[in-house]
Chain A
Amino acid sequence: MMPPIPANPAPVNPLRMDMIPMNYALIVAWVLFVIGVIGVLARRNLLFILMSVEIMLNASGLAFVVAGSRWGQPDGQIMFIFILAMAAAEVSVGLALVLLAYHRFGGLDADAANRMKG
């Protein structure tokens, strides 16, 4: 039996103690995002930079879903689906660029791209 679509912003929750505190889940999302930022700043391998960007996108999606589930609304999950589509498009173009850079510069070092002119 499917649960009805919540129409009101604050549905009555009989299992209040079953809920996760939103602050903790947002702290987890913040920590994951910071780890992604550190990865982008500290690593010079292009594949590691792309993976760190994926970590950051995932952390922002986690924040969206947690905030959406706090009020029992599906909007957060929908934003996560959009982030998922964006990540798929980003990673396909990014990996094609990584392959191109590997063949052009002979490696995956991001600092090798400072020779680009024009």
Chain B
Amino acid sequence: MIYAFYIAAAVAIVSTAMVIVQMNIVHALLYLILSLLSVAVIFFVVGAPFVAALEVIIYAGAIMILFVFVIMMLNLGTQSYRTEKGWMRVWTWVGPVLLASVLLADVVYMLVSPARLPGGGRLPPAFVRPYAMMVGPRAVGVTLFGPYLIGVELASILLLSGLIGALHLGRAVRPESFIGPVSAKKPGSSKKTDRGEGTVKK
């Protein structure tokens, strides 16, 4: 179990360091997903399987998908074709794949290796026994909706304000509301982009 922790920690540090030295944003995103996965393995090792699952589902799943969407929206025309062609090369994904294989071997080792007791006895492998100091989803749920109920309400307000903020920032803006240098648009073309005004008139 302790070696599983060491390997996962090494993968986490190496992949996170690779995130901030990359020049290509997609390579950095691959390494960031790997970093989140290895942190999830650390969560599993220290006895928090619920947040390990949340880390994989929400962080590596949902939040990283947002980044991918934004990168896809920023690439335009022939540049995106060249970028897509560049992603298919071997050196793009060989590093993340190697680190991910190390992480997979780590998880498999952790699950199938029997634990030694101090007296010399052996326990069955980790996937058939509740391991040391595990705090399962039941304890987390009972505490979350017990003493921390006000925090849940505050988190829902925060998520709602984030939703409204993203909606406000991402709406179609009128060209005259720009402050900085804008590409000059004809005044007649703003009708098409302004969706809010169009629905009011109907």
Contacts and interface: CB of A to CB of B under 8 A. Distances in A.
A72 B118 CA distance: 21
Interface residues of B, number: 72
B29 A92 contact: no
A98 interface: yes
Sort chain A's interface into a size bin. Answer: 35 or more
Nearest to B156: A85
A78 B139 CA distance: 10
B100 interface: no
Interface stretch (B70-78, B81-89, B91-99, B194-202): B70-78
Contacts of A47: 25, 67, 70-71
Interface string A63-106: 00110110011111110111011111111110111111010111
**Quick one: which of A87, A91, A117 has the most chain B CB within 10 A?**
A91
B111 interface: no
Contact of A48 (B28, B46, B48, B62): B28
Contact of B45 (A20, A51, A76): A20
Given A39-B19, A89-B163, 16 more contacts: A2-B136, A13-B133, A15-B123, A19-B132, A19-B133, A25-B42, A28-B13, A32-B16, A35-B20, A48-B28, A52-B19, A74-B139, A75-B143, A85-B158, A89-B162, A92-B162
Interface of A: 2-3, 5-6, 11, 13-20, 24-25, 28, 31-32, 35-36, 38-39, 42-43, 45, 47-48, 50-52, 54-55, 58, 61-62, 65-66, 68-69, 72-78, 80-82, 84-93, 95-100, 102, 104-106, 108, 115-118
